[in-house]
Amino acid sequence: MTRRPSRVLAPLWAAASVLATLDAGAAERDEGRTSRLLAGITTLSADAWQGRRAGTAGADRAADWIAAQFQAAGLEPGGDAGYDQRFVFIDGAKLGEANRLTAAGRRYRVTKDFQPLALSTRGEAAGPIVFAGYGIVAPDLSYDDYAGLDVRGKVVLVLRHGPRWGTGDSPWERFLGLRRKALTAHRQGAAALLITTGPETPTGDELVPFSIDAALGDAGLPVLSIKRDVAKHLFYGSGRSLSAAQQRIDETGKPASMRLAMSASLEADVHPTRAVTQNVIGVMRVPGAEESLVIGAHYDHLGRGGPGSMSEDDSVHHGADDNASGTAALIELARSLAPRTRSLKRNIVFIAFGAEEFGLLGSAHFVKHPTFPLDTAVAMANLDMIGRLGPNALGVFGVGTSPVWRDFVETANENLGLPLTLHDTGYGPSDHASFFAAGKPVLFFFTGLHSDYHRPTDTADKIDVVGVGRIVSLAEQLLAALATSEAPIPFVDPAGVTW
């Protein structure tokens, strides 16, 4: 049954319908696509580049190779220096010897009872302890754990995660990052932040790994992860237990913040290490065009494991699916779309992002320091882990970030017949989230997690290359239709939130 488009969707609908008919046949005739994709994935995931960890020679070699592919495809350099947009990032941290935490005369053991986070500021703090629930400030949800609290100069204790976490009905996803909680506490004037996993949270009681969220800078205050027993002790004499406080928040949806009876003295001795990496940017420039589309994929991976790895094996983590698959697809899209420049009305910007595995650092850097006016970017599409289609459905996320997306994607797919699962959210652990946070409509293509995720066994021989080619064909039609049309692509937040 053919859908009848609304007046708003008609221009994009027409473009998608025409291209779905014409380009599907072209993709079928392009017998070289599969071999090119396989060659690209095999090259990027080879042992020679040692897992492409950001800040290493292997990642730099991969970036140089991608730039050469962009140039061969006819893209213009779009970086600060040729195709490169270089940036400095914190690639880790070392734990010093002066870490301490004391409360009510009890001195706790570092790495046993507490542990600083890599995002922590190095320094000392002391003061009364204030419990601030989950550490969330969300005016749009009429929720504020800091309402009525004066935390200036005090030590703030918060819970990990969010209300009803793990039950599948929590609206708090975008507030749960530890860096966001730390920055919120810092803005409130806190002297330090303690983070614990509450008794009512259905997870273990492990300390947050020291190395988590090594990013562009520290959070502005000392931040320690503490065990549940430590947090329970800090509640003594306050008239309420940690468990009761958490239950009250989860059951009522209202804060249960309070000043505790104890004070704490602490020191975080954290020494960050820094490295340099780059985004690789190529531009398909259309004469006279004022608007641009962004298509991206991160090219970095985990090197030989360490933080983020799901394996204790220090062999090369090849990252064939994550994300040589998306990077090879990005290059193939540049090859296939570049000859169409004269028929387009919007520029297309191709970005291979660096340091995604460190916390979306490459895309975050680009959004903060764009190499073209970001307000002229009308939408962003992201390719991450698209190599395991097989019998699975292709997940397309972000369809709720613009009213045009859902019908547009389904129309473009009619002649390709890919099994799709469509998701509204524009938030998620990949580079599209940086653009969504900047108020841009996004689409994210993803074939799902698997047993080789973040392990040395994510190798090129396990990639469904034909499936990658089918996804490239869909992305090609979508991008070509969007670039051929001048119809607006309105942005909405699926949660009804303006960021």
Decide which of 145 and 215 is more confident.
145
Q: Which amino acid is at 119?
A: L
Least confident of 18-32, 80-94, 405-419, 444-458: 18-32
> Beta 292-298 vs 258-268: how paired, if at all?
unpaired
> Beta 394-397 vs 442-446: how paired, if at all?
antiparallel
Distance CA 401, CA 399 (A): 6
Average pLDDT (201-224) is: 79
Average pLDDT (385-393) is: 94
- Identify the domain boundary among 268, 292, 327: 268
Segment (H or E) for 195: strand 192-196
Average pLDDT (359-364) is: 92
CB-based burial, 148-180: b 16+ in 10 Å, e otherwise: ebebeebbbbbbbbbbbbeeeeebbebbbebbb
Predicted model pTM: 0.79
* DSSP-assigned letters across all residues of 225-242: EE-HHHHHHHTTTSSS-H
Give the pLDDT confidence score for residue 263 in this predicted structure. Answer: 97
Least confident of 165-174, 253-262, 315-324: 165-174
CATH value at residue 334: 3.40.630.10
Is 143 a residue whose pLDDT tops 90? yes
- Identify the domain boundary among 235, 268, 301: 268
pLDDT digits (tens, 9 = 90+) for 446-459: 999 999 999 999 99
Q: Which residues contact 89 (CB under 8 A, 6 or more apart)?
A: 54, 55, 214, 215, 216, 274, 275, 276, 277, 355, 358, 361, 365
- Identify the domain boundary among 253, 268, 283: 268
Average pLDDT (316-335) is: 98
Is 490 a residue whose pLDDT tops 70? yes
492 occurs within a structural domain: no
491 occurs within a structural domain: no
Give the pLDDT confidence score for residue 225 in this predicted structure. Answer: 97
Pair 418, 442 in one domain: yes
Q: How far is CA 135 from CA 145, 147, 309, 366, in A?
A: 6, 11, 28, 28
The answer to whether residues 129 and 103 touch, using CB atoms and an 8 Å cutoff, is yes
Pair 235, 220 in one domain: yes
Pair 85, 105 in one domain: no
Question: What confidence tier does 215 reach under pLDDT thresholds 50, 70, 90?
Answer: low
Give the pLDDT confidence score for residue 392 in this predicted structure. Answer: 87
Pair 286, 368 in one domain: yes
Give the pLDDT confidence score for residue 412 in this predicted structure. Answer: 93
Give the pLDDT confidence score for residue 206 in this predicted structure. Answer: 86
**In a 3-state reduction of DSSP, which class is residue 309?**
coil
497 occurs within a structural domain: no
To the nearest whole percent, how much of the chain has pLDDT over 70? 91
Which tokens sit at 122? 């190095």
Average pLDDT (126-147) is: 94
Least confident of 31-40, 163-172, 192-201, 489-498: 163-172
Pair 372, 234 in one domain: no
Q: What is the count of structural domains for the chain?
A: 2
Question: What confidence tier does 217 reach under pLDDT thresholds 50, 70, 90?
Answer: low
5 occurs within a structural domain: no
Segment (H or E) for 364: helix 361-368
422 occurs within a structural domain: yes
Average pLDDT (437-453) is: 96
Pair 115, 60 in one domain: no
Pair 116, 233 in one domain: yes
225 - beta bridge partners? 115, 195
Give the pLDDT confidence score for residue 219 in this predicted structure. Answer: 86
Average pLDDT (266-292) is: 95
43 occurs within a structural domain: yes
Question: What confidence tier does 15 reach under pLDDT thresholds 50, 70, 90?
Answer: low
Pair 242, 102 in one domain: yes
Residues 193, 198, 200: CA angle, nearest 5 degrees: 160
489 occurs within a structural domain: no
Least confident of 153-167, 323-337, 429-443, 481-495: 153-167
Distance CA 250, CA 148 (A): 19
Segment (H or E) for 155: strand 155-159
Is 5 a residue whose pLDDT tops 50? no
Distance CA 222, CA 23 (A): 55
263 - beta bridge partners? 128
Give the pLDDT confidence score for residue 166 in this predicted structure. Answer: 60
Average pLDDT (247-253) is: 92
CATH value at residue 108: 3.50.30.30
Average pLDDT (8-31) is: 52
By residue count, the chain amounts to 499
Pair 322, 393 in one domain: yes
Pair 24, 171 in one domain: no
Decide which of 493 and 187 is more confident.
187
Is 295 a residue whose pLDDT tops 90? yes
Is 303 a residue whose pLDDT tops 80? yes
Is 495 a residue whose pLDDT tops 90? no
Is 1 a residue whose pLDDT tops 50? no
Pair 50, 103 in one domain: no
Give the pLDDT confidence score for residue 3 in this predicted structure. Answer: 46
The answer to whether residues 254 and 168 touch, using CB atoms and an 8 Å cutoff, is no
184 occurs within a structural domain: yes
Cis peptide before 323 (omega within 30 of 0): yes
Average pLDDT (286-301) is: 97
Pair 85, 121 in one domain: no
Average pLDDT (383-394) is: 95
Minimal CA–CA distance to 436: which of 467, 472, 458, 405?
405
Give the pLDDT confidence score for residue 13 in this predicted structure. Answer: 52
Segment (H or E) for 91: strand 84-95
Residue 135 domain boundaries: 97-268
Q: Which residues contact 17 (CB under 8 A, 6 or more apart)?
A: 411
Give the pLDDT confidence score for residue 84 in this predicted structure. Answer: 98
Supply the DSSP symbol for 82. T
pLDDT digits (tens, 9 = 90+) for 370-384: 999 999 999 999 999
264 - beta bridge partners? 103, 127
